[in-house]
Amino acid sequence: MPDRTRPLHVACIMDGNGRWAGRRGLPRTDGHTEGEENLARLVRVAVRRDIGHLTVFGFSTENWRRPRPEVRHILGLHEKLFGRVAELNELDVRIQWIGRPFDSPEAKTPRYVQRAIGKAIADTASNTGMVLTVAFDYGGRSELVAATEKARRSSGGVTPEAISANLYLPDLPPVDVLVRTSGEHRVSNFLLWQAAGAAIYFTDAPWPDFDGDELDRALELVG
């Protein structure tokens, strides 16, 4: 049973932006643009539902392989999202980022996105309501390899506690509900450790159509 003594943690794999656009005869990038708008809408709904943590998969370690113009567009949308500081402050939402540390050898996050992330974190740091965590240049396996390596070098060695303590964001609570949109039934290297006990809500709705009613159906899984 989920631990209902703490606020709920919902994590979303926001799939289907490209298909949403394709069905309308629009370029894939328009689907991503609408996906970012929908995330802004969903943040408002999640705050109203008293969700404690909303974590979203914005860009994976694998997404760099997409065509350059699409990558550039998605990066620009992250800059836009991290720039929504006034909205986040109005909602008392604190923003966090999870991903490969910028100084790690494999990290690929360009400087302007690093700056946008740093500024959003600083400008929302004193908010005490919902925590919005954006996964950017994130992969669960990379996170676990890094955490295990650090645990191995620690005095107590590799234990579940030591791995938890060495994750990118050790204070991120376990995921209660993992959402995957657009009819795909895969976990796709997202929060592998944190979502070990999560209920999973699969829906055929593409991410731009994932609304409050969809969120409520996902929340039904945890009563």
- Strand order through the sheet with 53-60: 94-98, 131-138, 53-60, 9-13, 177-180, 199-202
Minimum distance, C-beta of residue 38 to ligand FPP, in the bound complex (Å)? 7
Q: For residues 115 and 112, what is the distance between their CA atoms, to the nearest angstrom?
A: 5
**Residue in 17, 166, 194, 203 binding ligand FPP, rule: CB under 6 A:** 17
Nearer to ligand FPP, 94 or 162 (CB): 94
DSSP state of 184: -
Binding-site size, ligand FPP (CB under 6 A): 19
Does 134 bind ligand FPP (CB under 6 A)? Our answer is yes
Minimum distance, C-beta of residue 186 to ligand FPP, in the bound complex (Å)? 11
| Candidates 17, 30, 38, 63; catalytic one | 63
Question: Which region, judged by CB under 6 A, interacts with ligand FPP, from 55-63, 105-113, 125-133, 171-179?
Answer: 55-63
Residue of this chain nearest to ligand FPP (CB atom): 18
Does 180 bind ligand FPP (CB under 6 A)? Our answer is no
Give the DSSP H or E segment for 87: helix 85-90
Instruction: Could you list the beta-strand ranges (E) of the chain.
Output: 9-13, 53-60, 94-98, 131-138, 177-180, 199-202
Closest CA to 181 of 201, 198, 164: 201
Minimum distance, C-beta of residue 122 to ligand FPP, in the bound complex (Å)? 18
Any idea what the Cα angle at residue 201 is, between residues 12 and 121, rounded to 5°?
15
Question: Which region, judged by CB under 6 A, interacts with ligand FPP, from 10-18, 92-100, 122-130, 194-202?
Answer: 10-18
Does 93 bind ligand FPP (CB under 6 A)? Our answer is no
| Cα separation values, 173 from 54, 107, 197, Å | 11, 24, 12
Angle (deg, nearest 10), helices 28-48 and 212-220? 60
Minimum distance, C-beta of residue 117 to ligand FPP, in the bound complex (Å)? 11
Residue pair 97/117 in contact by the 8 Å Cβ criterion: yes
Nearer to ligand FPP, 9 or 32 (CB): 32
Residues that bind ligand FPP (CB under 6 A): 14-19, 32, 35-36, 39, 56, 58, 63, 74, 77-78, 81, 134, 182
